[in-house]
Amino acid sequence: QAVQQGPRGAFIVFEGADRAGKSTQCQMLVEHLQASGVNAELWRFPDRTTAIGKMINSYLTSQSEIDDAAVHLLFSANRWEKREELLRKLASGTTLVVDRYAYSGVAFTAAKGLPGLDRAWCTVPDAGLPAPDVVFFLSLTVEQAAARGGYGEERYEKADFQRKVLDQFQALRDSSWRMIDASQSIEDIQQQLREQAAAVVARCQRGAAPLGRLWE
Ligand code: ADP
Ligand code: 2DT
Ligand code: MG
Predicted-complex ipTM score: 0.98
CA dist 105 to 27, 91, 116, 123, 168, Å? 21, 25, 16, 8, 11
Ligand 3 centroid, distance to 152 Cα (angstroms): 11
Query: Can you give the pTM of this predicted structure?
Result: 0.97
Q: Dump pLDDT digits (tens) for 25-76.
A: 999 999 999 999 999 999 999 999 999 999 999 999 999 999 999 999 999 9
Alpha-carbon dihedral angle through residues 25, 27, 31, 36, given to the nearest 10 degrees: 40
- Long-range CB pairs of 79-82 (<8 Å, 24+ gap) are 79/45, 79/105, 79/126, 79/129, 80/129, 81/50, 81/52, 82/43, 82/45, 82/47, 82/50
pLDDT at 149: 81
Half-sphere exposure of 127 (CA within 13 A, CB side): 9
pLDDT at 4: 52
Distance between CA 107 and CA 17 in Å, rounded?
Answer: 10
Give the rounded distance of the alpha carbon of 139 from its chain centre.
13
Ligand 2 centroid, distance to 207 Cα (angstroms): 32
pLDDT at 1: 44
Helix (H) or strand (E) holding 177: strand 177-181
Residue 100 CA, closest ligand 2 atom number: 14
Which of 112, 127, 44 lies closest to 78, judged by CA?
44
CB of 131 closer than 6 angstroms to any ligand 1 atom: no
Per-block mean pLDDT, blocks of 10 residues, the chain (216 long):
73 95 98 98 98 98 98 99 98 98 98 98 98 98 89 91 98 98 98 98 93 94
Please, which residues have CB within 8 angstroms of residue 30's CB and are 6 or more apart in sequence?
A: 40, 41, 42, 97
Q: Please name the amino acid found at residue 136.
A: F
**Ligand closest in space to the Cα of 17:** 1
Is residue 46 reached through a cis peptide bond, with omega within 30 degrees of 0 on the bond before it?
yes
Task: Report how far apart the first and last C-alpha atoms of the chain are (Å, whole number).
Answer: 10
Distance between CA 86 and CA 212 in Å, rounded?
Answer: 13
CB of 75 closer than 6 angstroms to any ligand 2 atom: yes
